[in-house]
A and B are shown apart, each in its own frame.
Chain A
Amino acid sequence: MIGGLHDVLMPAGAQAQAILALWHWLLPICTLVFVAIMAALWLAVRRAPRVAQDDTPDVSSLFEREPKVTRTVWIAVAVSTVLLLALLAASVFTDRAIARLPLANALHIELTGYQWWWAVRYDDADPSRIFTTANELHVPVGRPVIVSLAGADVIHSFWVPSLHGKKDLIPGRDATVSFRADRPGIYRGQCAEYCGYQHAHMVLYVVADAPDVYERWAAQQRKPAVAPVNDEQARGRDLFVAKSCAMCHAINGTSAQARNAPDLTHVASRMTIGAGTLENSVSARAAWILDPQQFKPGAKMPGENLAPEELAALNAYLGSLS
Chain B
Amino acid sequence: MKGGRGSVVFVAALAALAACQREARDFDAPTKSVTAPPVRMSAIQPGAISTRTTLEHNYEENAYALSEGKRLFGWYNCNGCHANGGGDKGPALMDNVWVYGSDPANIYATIAEGRPNGMPSFGGHIPDNEVWELVAYVRSLSGLASSGAAPSRADEMHVKEPESQTDRQTPVVAAPSGASERP
Contacts and interface: CB of A to CB of B under 8 A. Distances in A.
Interface of B is mostly: loop
Interface stretch (B3-11, B23-31, B40-48, B163-171): B23-31
Given A247-B75, A248-B75, A303 B31 contact: yes
A229 to B, nearest CB: 27
Contact of B129 (A248, A298, A302): A302
Contact of A260 (B29, B75, B127, B155): B75
B57 interface: no
A304 interface: yes
B127 to A, nearest CB: 4
B95 to A, nearest CB: 28
B126 interface: yes
Interface centre among B27, B76, B126, B155 (most CB of A within 10 A): B27
Interface size class of B (residues with CB under 8 A): 10 to 19
Nearest to B127: A302
B71 to A, nearest CB: 8
Contacts of B130: 302
A248 B74 CA distance: 11
Contact of A244 (B25, B28, B126): B126
Interface string A166-205: 0000010000000000000000000000000000000000
B125 A153 contact: no
B32 interface: yes
Contact of A298 (B27, B31, B75): B27
A248 B76 CA distance: 8
Contact of B28 (A242, A260, A293): A293
Contacts of A302: 29, 31, 126-127, 129-130
A24 interface: no
Interface string A242-267: 11101110000000001010000000
Q: State the main secondary structure of chain A at its contact with B.
A: loop
Interface string A292-319: 0100011010111100000000000000
Contacts of B76: 247
B125 A247 contact: yes
Nearest to B28: A293
Contacts of A247: 75-76, 125-126
Contacts of B124: 242-243
A171 B28 CA distance: 30
A199 to B, nearest CB: 15
A248 B71 CA distance: 12
A243 B28 contact: no
B155 A303 contact: no
Nearest to B130: A302
A147 B126 CA distance: 34
A298 B29 CA distance: 11
Interface in A120-171: 153, 171
Contacts of A153: 155
18 contacts: A171-B155, A242-B125, A243-B124, A244-B126, A246-B125, A247-B76, A258-B75, A293-B27, A298-B25, A300-B71, A302-B31, A302-B126, A302-B130, A303-B31, A304-B31, A304-B127, A305-B31, A305-B32
Given A242-B125, A302-B130, 10 more contacts: A153-B155, A171-B155, A243-B124, A243-B125, A246-B125, A258-B75, A293-B27, A297-B27, A298-B27, A303-B127
